[in-house]
Amino acid sequence: MLIGVPKEIKNHEYRVGLTPASVRELTAHGHQVLVQTDAGTAIDLTDAQYVAAGAEMVATAAEIFARAEMIVKVKEPQPVECAMLRPGQILYTYLHLAPDPEQTKALVKSGAICIAYETITGPGGGLPLLAPMSEVAGRMAVQAGATYLEKAHGGRGLLLGGVPGVQPGHVAIIGAGVVGTNALQMAVGLGARVTVLDKNVDRLRQLDLVFGNRISTIYSTASAIEEAVLDADLVVGGVLVPGAAAPKLVTRAHVARMKKGAVLVDVAIDQGGCFETSHATTHAEPVYMVDGVVHYCVANMPGAVARTSTFALNNATIGHALALAEKGWKQALKDNPHLLHGLNVCQGQVTYEAVAHDLGYEFVDPAGLLG
């Protein structure tokens, strides 16, 4: 198969779809890989490294989209990229379609086979291609929150861990999945007072066994969320409904009553956000204020630590990329029901039920398209 890797063009996005090591895996199996010039230069992955791994360097994204049978990216295609997709071409990347009707419309129009990292499942449950970026984003959420609690950045002027004789800050984490667990690890490490909320009591029990009295575990209800948010200095939103828009768990009324200079970090923003006052921001302008509360809602948080993120992501994505290249998309999806769950749009049809439901499309069972 001829596989193409364009340079990412989203604001401050420096990750790259394939590392030189991943290219070598594909070329060693007889596949050809096109990589856009300077695709990985920003994170010290040079064109020479790609050539040594067997890639052909190509000057423009247009040529890659025109030639490649499969496009491997990191972030969802931007409008100019959607316009270059063609019927039958495989797109393998993060999509996050539920809160993005324009992208969904463009992908349906393209006729491409669009496989989303974030809905591919794993044999033991979970979302293994989303997990590495959730780990990064969860850890970054506390870093970012600590920074924006500084007075110069609009925050309360508070050191999360406090100092001897001074009370530490309070971090409320909504969601005890991968994001929430990594956020609480960072918050506990800094010495903050941590409350984590979730509806899965078994998960809360597991966290209690690990962290003991260093954290408070609370069953998530509307009342519990309200109480935690109003007391918190930093709130991390790590809620996920696979493939669907995130529920709005923190309301505008909650935000109006929060401490002035408190910080909200909405890691669920790729799926529309779990705070009612959230809207997506970029690394160029990461924050805004609502009712005196700092909102950090960057839609590609792991892009800030792009080298770490690229290697972590490739560890998770290369296996399926190789399967798609070796077998073609139909056979690869027939053979692996977990990969089949990643098929969101196929040949003009919406094939992921949560996306179809949220955006008003007819859901088409993907199994019926495999022949």
Q: Annotated catalytic sites, by residue?
A: 96, 270
The structure tokens listed for 319 are 């296996």
The structure tokens listed for 49 are 């490294």
* Contacts for 8 with CB less than 8 Å, ≥ 6 apart: 14, 15, 16, 17, 39, 73, 74, 75
Q: What is the DSSP letter of 74?
A: S
The structure tokens listed for 163 are 């100092």
Residues, the chain, total?
A: 371
Query: Strand runs (DSSP E) across the chain, as ranges?
Result: 2-5, 32-36, 56-58, 70-72, 90-93, 113-116, 170-174, 193-198, 215-219, 234-237, 263-266, 287-290, 293-296, 343-346, 349-350
Which stretch of DSSP H or E encloses residue 207?
helix 201-211
Displacement of CA 274 from its chain's centroid (Å): 14
